[in-house]
């Protein structure tokens, strides 16, 4: 056999092995449409590996490669027969407005929405977010404000929070609500993933702001990360390599939110980033007390291993309730509005949502906790071609149903 033919066959064999490594990654047996999920997971894993290689070679920052997904998905603001869509700014922060064309008997409802992406990637112009906001506006006959906050690693906490808070506070002014024909008693904040984190933090902060007179009616949190103290919860252990969001990627998102200093990421990976002087905060995220038995399973709670106080002195954000809403006191939580929380069984962030739901219920807040046993992180975003999943439609319909009944 000619040498060049042998080399080509070897290359083909290696390429096949690499492809098989991606395509045949384990997919839980209870997933609907497993081959579709596998292909979606493969696409995301490929971008992650490309990002790792590019960063290792010094070609590009890891997040710059992941942002390519955002760029590929971007769509311009386009109105249709049901909704008028425009890009504008509220308090110098970019927003995309969705205003229904259909007539309204009175003032409309409104949803202020924050996209996900680990505070590092994502954009309100992504096809999935445009689709979500457009359908929400049309189906609820509601004004939707989708917010484009600044991202890490260029901007770190609290910039992302301050951007979304600034937009929400601006929109809640009586004059602005009146301009868009919005009922001040029917406004909510919502978000998915990192956006759910921001929505929870905004809802808490509004209660402490004497300048804000309009109260939120509800909040909707879709598979949100809600604490950066314990990154080894049962859900982190069980779902370390599940589709879309691996444990290592979530840890990277958390650390990049606060700093690009590798020392914090390394400490978070080993779950040794909280100093002993902050040990009292673990009472708010003690999963042994907050998770139901069917979620705890055979996991055994282990007391925290504490880290150096130098990290929290340099990057105090990860102990700030604006970044970790689960750290809020019961006194703060009991003033929050009616709440919807979506969690997915095969998601590293599952237990954050469970713990927040439990803490809110304990202080008397009405909570609808929708747990999808056959879903993975971000499943609700997969509702349009080419990445369309039945589970995405099912979760979206339940979310819209709840908003319609409660907003």
Catalytic residue among 146, 193, 246, 324: 193
Q: How far apart are CA 170 and CA 154, in angstroms?
A: 24
Copy the structure tokens of residue 196: 């759910």
Distance, first Cα to last Cα, the chain: 72
**CA 360, chain centre distance (Å):** 19
Residue 30 falls in the annotated catalytic set = no
Residue 261 falls in the annotated catalytic set = no
Catalytic residue among 138, 230, 347, 352: 347
Query: CB count, 10 Å around CB of 406?
Result: 17
Query: CB count, 10 Å around CB of 112?
Result: 24
User: Which distant-in-sequence residues (6+ apart) come within 8 Å of 267 by Cβ?
Assistant: 273, 307, 308, 311
Name the pairing type of β-strands 182-192 and 383-384: unpaired
Torsions phi, psi of 342, nearest 5?
Answer: -105, 130
Q: Which residues are catalytic?
A: 193, 347, 377
């Amino acid at each position: 056999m000619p040498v060049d033919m042998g080399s080509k066959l070897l290359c083909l064999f290696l390429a096949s092995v690499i492809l098989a490594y991606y395509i045949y990654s384990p997919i839980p047996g209870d997933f609907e449409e497993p081959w579709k999920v596998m292909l979606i997971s493969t696409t995301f894993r490929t971008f992650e590996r490309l990002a790792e290689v590019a960063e290792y070679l010094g070609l590009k920052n890891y997040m710059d490669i992941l942002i390519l997904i955002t760029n590929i998905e971007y769509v311009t603001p386009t109105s249709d027969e049901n909704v008028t869509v425009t890009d504008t700014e509220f308090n110098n922060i970019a927003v995309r407005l969705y205003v229904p064309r259909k007539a309204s008997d009175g003032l409309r409802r409104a949803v202020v929405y924050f996209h996900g992406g680990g505070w590092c990637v994502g954009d309100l112009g992504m096809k999935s977010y445009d689709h979500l906001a457009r359908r929400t506006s049309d189906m609820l006959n509601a004004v939707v404000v989708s917010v484009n906050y600044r991202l890490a690693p260029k901007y770190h906490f609290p910039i992302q929070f301050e951007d979304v808070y600034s937009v929400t506070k601006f929109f809640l002014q009586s004059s602005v609500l009146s301009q868009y024909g919005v009922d001040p008693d029917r406004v909510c904040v919502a978000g998915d993933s990192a956006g759910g984190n921001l929505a929870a933090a905004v809802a808490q902060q509004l209660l402490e702001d004497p300048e804000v007179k309009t109260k939120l009616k509800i909040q909707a949190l879709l598979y949100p990360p809600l604490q950066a103290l314990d990154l080894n919860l049962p859900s982190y252990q069980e779902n370390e390599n599940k589709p879309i969001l691996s444990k290592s990627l979530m840890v990277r998102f958390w650390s990049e939110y606060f700093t690009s200093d590798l020392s914090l990421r390394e400490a978070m990976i080993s779950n040794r980033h909280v100093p002993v002087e902050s040990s009292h905060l673990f009472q708010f995220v003690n999963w042994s007390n907050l998770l139901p038995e069917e979620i705890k399973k055979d996991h055994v709670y282990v007391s925290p291993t504490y880290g150096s106080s130098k990290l929290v002195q340099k990057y105090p954000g990860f102990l700030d309730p604006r970044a970790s809403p689960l750290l809020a006191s019961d006194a703060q939580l009991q003033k929050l509005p009616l709440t919807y929380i979506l969690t997915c069984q095969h998601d590293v962030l599952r237990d954050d949502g469970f713990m927040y739901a439990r803490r809110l219920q304990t202080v008397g807040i009405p909570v609808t906790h929708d747990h999808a046993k056959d879903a993975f992180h971000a499943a609700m975003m997969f509702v349009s071609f080419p990445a369309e999943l039945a589970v995405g439609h099912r979760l979206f319909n339940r979310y819209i149903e709840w908003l319609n009944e409660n907003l």
